[in-house]
Structure 1
Amino acid sequence: MKATIYDVAKAAGVSIATVSKVINHTGKISEATRIKVLETMKQLNYHPSVVASALTGKRTETLGLLVPDISNPFFSEMARTIEDRAHDRGMSVIMCSTDDQSEKERKYIELLQRKQVDGLIIASGFRDKSLLDELKRNKMPLAMLSFDDPSLDVTTVSVDDYKGGYDAASHLLSLGHRNIAIIGEDVHSSRMRTFGYRDAFEAFGVPLIEENMLRTTASLDNGAKCVKELLKREHPPTAIFACNDLIAIGAIQGARELGIQVPSDLSIVGFDNTILATTTVPALTTISQPIEEMGRKIVDVLIEEIHKRVVTRERVLFKPSLIIRGTTATFNGEIMEGSQARA
């Protein structure tokens, strides 16, 4: 027999009104009482009716999460952190993967609104900005992850992509590399990382080779294709900065297929520090994003907005850090010819 709100109140030793306040986040209740009621609900496997809450205009205790590609380890790890934090805060998460397509963005936004989600976390690049304006007009609590557009009056949680790109390029330049390529995506975060990469060259007084700047979409295959294109040039790069770990691992695989050794022949730096970075051989030197801290923070700030405890929008910027592993080495002074890669 399913537990009722009366069973929860009796087992927790509180009134039905108190249980209702905990469920609906209303009224003044001590943290100890709130935790006791939540634990009792869990023990009795009691779940408030989401449908009933939606019909009466109450919160459904659900968040919507839009990501561009769940196959990218960064977004899958971030989604797990967000789900865990939301669960700790008494909420569930509905996740949708948009593949960076405007049509899917609109479709999933409409779906999540029909599901009566209490708030949205958007980690997708969001091609159609009019959708964001529409959400704001509808007063939907909203937070952006890994995407910071000052023109949008929304809470954002992101990493300092510019500094990450600067640190990645500076690391390779400090090792003596001068012919350094970058493989990025056509998204906001990659563009900021590229700006940092550019400015590192200027700081070191090293000319930038424009042909070394490639754009692709994040996948192992595309990372391999890009590195093969670069290594078959007459004067191939001695180092590569990939704007995410997925592309970086693909680049390592592509180099290996051409008989190019990492890091003795080619140094590679990634970005994200996902689980992939420690599973490849050699382990990947990469720029680390504090995924757990970012995931917890965005859930917390969105819940504050849902509960209308927010006066001003937050712009939270986390610092990245360089994690040096086995895919970068000092430049040995030997310039690899394109024919070597083609051999």
Structure 2
Amino acid sequence: MVLMPDLSASPRPVVTRKDVARLAGVSTAVVSYVVNGGPKNVSPATEEKVRQAIAALGYRPNIAARALKVGSSQILGMVVPKISSPFFAGLAKAVEQAAEERGFAMLLGDSRDSLAVESRHLRNFVDRQVDGVFLCSVVNHRPDVSELDGRGIKTVLLNFSEYPLPFDAIGPEFVGSSRQAVEHLAGHGHRDIALVQGLVTGNTLDGREQGWRDALEGLGLPEGRVIRCPFDRAGGYEAGRRFLALPQRPTAVFITSDEQAVGFLRAMHEAGVRVPEDVAVFSFDGSEEAEFTWPPLSTVRQPVQEMAEAAVRAIIGSGRDDPARIQVFPCELVLRRSCGCGTTHSG
């Protein structure tokens, strides 16, 4: 037998700010100061009385009403291409923490490397009237954010820093950092350096590939071979299998993400190819798992925390009409065994 709810029962009355104020013996303004953390200070004793009244009555502030009153939802949106990626998971965590410290909540959308899904997330954020959006787009050149812009929603592109744009963009120094990594491999005596390049959407050259090409040209080395694959472990593993089948295999490889490099290392291990003795490996991102592969990965570490802080400041700490700017953050080479360095250190 299915028990049906008693629809005749009276609904639970809505607890208001006035109810809290009456129980705590304070004004409604004081309740507002406690709930919103200002703008005026409240003595610790008074704040404790208000919080006890809130707990006793089960009061929940009407966030939607407050958003209409102050013109802010205090909610931000973020879209990443793949939340399962250690790099993007770490970046999303850093952005969320930076936003939370400023009193903002965050909605996260996973585009699953699909431009159509990315666009749906952006439309959803518009409908929810978020205050701003952090976009890690699957498009590597001028993603379409016209709908956000048309509704006055501040947009910051993350992990995107190579082109002049009409909106804020924050990212690592892809070209210069990648060039340094390849030059480091050449410093170990390598003259045939391949590239494992992640698939990108758009008709422009990925900054990591550009850095690899610049390094080879600058060093007077022959044009290297390129293996293109998805930005994930499975893609890196398949790239490793294709690398093993190359005639006159290169002695070193630059890989455009740590996640790909993990798959590549597995392919080398299965084939009995030693890293770095038979092939040296240098990757890009600086995710935590790079330290725990075997051998540990030499990698270009992105300053995730600094980029996250800058992204949140760009939305919360500036006016909507402030001129757009690009902030490019230098990266750090973290040298470990996979490139041929004997000890773990940074340089």
Do they fold alike, i.e. is TM over 0.5?
yes
SS in 2 for 1:316: strand
- Partners in 2 of 1:248 and 1:312 — Cα distance? 38
The alpha-carbon deviation at position 147 of structure 1 amounts to 1.3
Looking at CA atoms only, which structure, 1 or 2, has the larger radius of gyration? 2
| Contact map agreement 1:182 1:242 (CA 8 A) in 2 | yes
Q: Confirm or deny that 1:291 pairs with 2:327.
A: no
- Partners in 1 of 2:145 and 2:296 — Cα distance? 39
- Partners in 1 of 2:277 and 2:51 — Cα distance? 55
Residues 112-191 of structure 1: pairs in structure 2 closer than 5 A: 112-126=125-139, 131-148=144-161, 150-187=163-200, 191=206
Q: Confirm or deny that 1:194 pairs with 2:209.
A: yes
| Contact map agreement 1:119 1:140 (CA 8 A) in 2 | yes
SS in 2 for 1:327: helix
The alpha-carbon deviation at position 5 of structure 1 amounts to 4.8
| Contact map agreement 1:183 1:213 (CA 8 A) in 2 | yes
SS in 1 for 2:339: coil
2:246 to 229, 233, 242: 233
TM-score, normalised to structure 1, is 0.82
| Contact map agreement 2:161 2:328 (CA 8 A) in 1 | no
SS in 1 for 2:184: helix
The alpha-carbon deviation at position 9 of structure 1 amounts to 12
Aligned to 2:317: 304
Aligned to 1:219: 232
Aligned to 2:84: 71
The alpha-carbon deviation at position 129 of structure 1 amounts to 5.5
SS in 2 for 1:215: strand
1:316 to 321, 327, 333: 327
- Partners in 2 of 1:290 and 1:190 — Cα distance? 22
2:340 to 329, 334, 339: 329
The alpha-carbon deviation at position 17 of structure 1 amounts to 7.6
SS in 2 for 1:184: strand
| Contact map agreement 1:288 1:321 (CA 8 A) in 2 | yes
- Partners in 2 of 1:42 and 1:325 — Cα distance? 52
- Specify whether residues 80 and 317 from structure 1 end up closer, same or farther in structure 2 by C-alpha distance, changes over 3 A only: same
Give a deviation string over 1:290-319, Cα, whole Å, max 9, x none.
1111112111211124xx276322311110
Give a deviation string over 1:149-171, Cα, whole Å, max 9, x none.
64531111111000121011111
Aligned to 2:3: none
What amino acid does structure 2 have at the position aligned with 1:51? A
| Contact map agreement 1:145 1:298 (CA 8 A) in 2 | yes
2:218 to 179, 191, 203: 203
| Contact map agreement 1:67 1:96 (CA 8 A) in 2 | yes
RMSD: 3.4
Give a deviation string over 1:184-206, Cα, whole Å, max 9, x none.
12338971111111111122121
| Contact map agreement 2:67 2:74 (CA 8 A) in 1 | no
Give a deviation string over 1:33-75, Cα, whole Å, max 9, x none.
49x9xx9899968764233345557311110000001111110
| Contact map agreement 1:83 1:92 (CA 8 A) in 2 | yes
Larger RCO (CA under 8 A, 6+ residues apart)? 1
In structure 1, stretches of 5+ residues that fail to align are 331-343
The alpha-carbon deviation at position 108 of structure 1 amounts to 1.0
Aligned to 2:7: none
- Partners in 2 of 1:9 and 1:238 — Cα distance? 76
Aligned to 1:254: 267
- Partners in 1 of 2:22 and 2:308 — Cα distance? 33
Give identity over the alignment, percent.
Answer: 27
| Contact map agreement 2:79 2:136 (CA 8 A) in 1 | yes
What amino acid does structure 2 have at the position aligned with 1:121? F
In structure 2, stretches of 5+ residues that fail to align are 1-12, 342-347
